[in-house]
Amino acid sequence: MQSNSASGPFIISRTFDVPSYRVWRAWTDRDRLMHWFGPKGFKMTHARVDFRPGGSFHYCLQGPDGKAMWGKFVYRESVPLQRMVLLNSFSDPGGGTTVHPINPTWPREMLSTTTLTEENGKTTVTVCWEPFNATAEERMTFDSNHETMKMGWGGTFDQLADYLSKR
């Protein structure tokens, strides 16, 4: 018997050996985002950032196979050096919300909360992802893909760590 209850949000954390202001700038500055954001092996080819509540980050990632994948964030909350809350979705080149290019039952929007906690000059980044206004089918897809998300975010954090070590 399959349960209809959600397995809960997806949460992943990583500690970086730099102060929070450096991590915050990497997450909020267009030129810095262009260097690291996205799963390992992906390159950002387009980015437009308006980092403020109500603003957006519209971007294009090019995969190892050369295919383009568009996405966008719509910022809801920002507490400098501590927290950002946004809605994340796949997008078309014009900025409209679209379905996942490979998995059409993926939630159309994800509520994403990123927190930064600094201790002794090191910063822990925690990302909490959960479906937003999702159907039961979309929630099931989300719940069954936590391992895939772990790999994707793990690669993204690897790229952030590499970027921060060189800057």
CA 120 to chain CA mean position, Å: 26
User: For residue 108, what pLDDT is reported?
Assistant: 96
User: For residue 1, what pLDDT is reported?
Assistant: 28
**Entry pTM:** 0.91
Q: What percent of the chain has pLDDT over 70?
A: 96
Q: What is the Cα–Cα distance from 143 to 4, expressed in whole angstroms?
A: 11
Domain spans, the chain: 10-166
Top-level class of domain 10-166:
alpha beta
HEC letters along 14-55: EEECCCHHHHHHHHHCHHHHHHHCCCCCCEEEEEEECCCCCC
Q: Is the pLDDT of residue 133 over 70?
A: yes
pLDDT tens digits, one per residue of 39-93:
889 999 999 999 999 999 999 999 999 999 999 999 999 999 999 999 999 999 9
